[in-house]
Amino acid sequence: MASLEDPFDFTQPTQPFEEATQVTQDEPSLSGSHQKPIGKIVWKRGDQISDHDIYLDSPVVVGRHRSCHIQVTSTVSSNRHCTIAAIIEKESRDLLIVCEDLSSNGTFWNGKKIGKGKSVILTHGDVIEIKKGYYFTYLQLAKVRSGNSKEAANPIDTKYQITDTVLGKGTFAEIRLVYRKDTQQQLAVKVMEKRNFTANGTAGGGTNYIHEINLLRGIKHPNIVRVYDVAETARHVYIFMPLLRGGDLFDYIYENERIDEDEARFIIYQVLLALKYLHDANIAHRDLKPENTLLVKKSSYSQVMLTDFGMAKAAGQQELMKTMCGTFQYIAPEMISSGAKPGEAVKVGYTTAVDCWSLGVMTYAMVSGMLPFSDEDGNPQILFSQILSGVLDFSFPCWRTLSLGCQAFIRALLRIDPAKRMTVDKAFKHPWIAQDEARLAKLYAECIRSDGTTTEPTTPAADSPSATDGSPVSSRRKSRGNSSDSGDDASSTTAAAAAGAMGPPPAKRVRQLD
């Protein structure tokens, strides 16, 4: 058993340690049965230094149970205390080494508690501690992209260490791992090259980084990713925000094929809270989709956060938005600039109702694992024709296991006429939400307490807001039937509670920049 006199007294349960071999190649081998180790976990065992190699896609489990790869023979350890895994980031293809805390007792990274169900990205020399005095060190063997940005020295470097580890990529930006130098807190930073934008900050597709930053200053809501700090140099703009390791909702749907109806209802409830906050301030997101909905942790019933507000607009009564944007499968009929026939213009304005349509598409996708509208032939005009027709298919077998209330909720959101479409306020009163409102509110409060990322960094930095770019959705929809959109705006008289601690909305203070 480990003791405070010999704090490194760890044992490995089933196999003796093999002699470690140094990786000589610059990059780790990412496939094949003869991989070389990417890194090592090292600790002291009496007078001996012991280690365990880390390989790609072979998580190392640390804990008290004898089945663990590294057994900690002490009551301070949980049966499964933490895992360390080498993974390939899906979008950037970068190699990341991630430590996930599985213990209620706490796993500490460089002296800071990670938190059960949460994770950190490890770099060379990081110390993982089970309890004060019981720790091991991570050593990097293979070369992993990590280090300072290649941009010339600037004031940002005094406050942050921006690494080359890419967490995600979009058309006009990429997300990198960053450290606050004073606290060593891990954050994410959205890096945008100014050369991709016009003088007023607008890029192709309508994305406006100046507008995004301006719009989100002052926003504080548990279901909206908040910006901690904003900085710019001659060539780049940096937006600093929380590091969320749960991935996005699109991947969560794809990996699970579809989401259980009750969990989907909980996710929609959270998105409704965020949309109510925005819509009460006359702000439409305009690019609502699973890729722009992030999970705080990669597990069921997670807290979710909306992100990527580069296309958001103030939507006052006298100021209707008229620029088509958003991923095509999720855009509302009124956002389509051309109908089924090429060149046939549809000149209409649109309001916050566009987000309600997108929410309907998201709900359909979550519970069925399919999209209601798709361009399988690669012809956007076919997709636009489907959207403008509003034809929905509830004939697939999965719908037999789903409630009629769920179908009615989707139909009410996917009304062609935005004036007849269910609003956020009416969505809270719809039986599918209202009948479980008390339970959802309680579950939400518990989720925020346990999952909640702080709305402030360890040491408060600057203003607020945030975003990430998502990749275009690939349609997984099968053939369509001929069910028509005949749903009504069903609602109950039960008042919906907009639960959660949040600051006041920015309301009319938002300035239109473009």
Give 229-238 pLDDT, tens digit per residue: 888 888 888 8
**Is the distance from CB of 304 to CB of 270 less than 8 angstroms?**
yes
- pLDDT at position 501, please? 38
DSSP state of 224: B
Q: How far apart are CA 478 and CA 398, in angstroms?
A: 12
pLDDT at 22 over 60: no
Please identify which of the residues 101, 248, 287, 355 carries the catalytic annotation.
287
pLDDT at 461 over 60: no
List pLDDT tens digits, range 77-87. 889 999 999 88
DSSP 153-221: P-THHHHEEEEEEEEEE-SS-EEEEEEETTT--EEEEEEEEGGGS-TTSB-GGG-BHHHHHHHHTT---
Question: What does the angle CA 418 – CA 421 – CA 426 come to, to the nearest 5 degrees?
Answer: 135
Predicted TM-score (pTM) of the model is 0.63
pLDDT at 448 exceeding the cut of 60: yes
Tell me, rounded to whole angstroms, the distance of Cα 181 from its chain centroid.
24
- Judge whether 194 is annotated as a binding position: no
Lowest mean pLDDT among 37-46, 362-371, 409-418: 37-46
- Rounded to whole angstroms, the Cα distance separating 402 from 261 reads 7
Window from 155-159, 160-164, 303-307, 330-334 with minimum mean pLDDT: 155-159
287 is catalytic: yes
Q: Residue 507: how many CA atoms within 13 Å on its side-chain side?
A: 2
At 349, is the pLDDT very low, low, confident or very high (cuts 50, 70, 90)?
Answer: low
- Residue 209's pLDDT band, with cuts at 50, 70 and 90, is low
Task: Give the whole-angstrom CA distance, residue 347 versus residue 338.
Answer: 9
- Using alpha carbons, list the distances in angstroms from residue 449 to 238, 425, 500: 29, 25, 10
User: Which domains, and CATH codes, for the chain?
Assistant: 39-140 (2.60.200.20), 156-242 (3.30.200.20), 249-453 (1.10.510.10)
Range ranked top by mean pLDDT from 56-70, 318-332, 371-385: 56-70
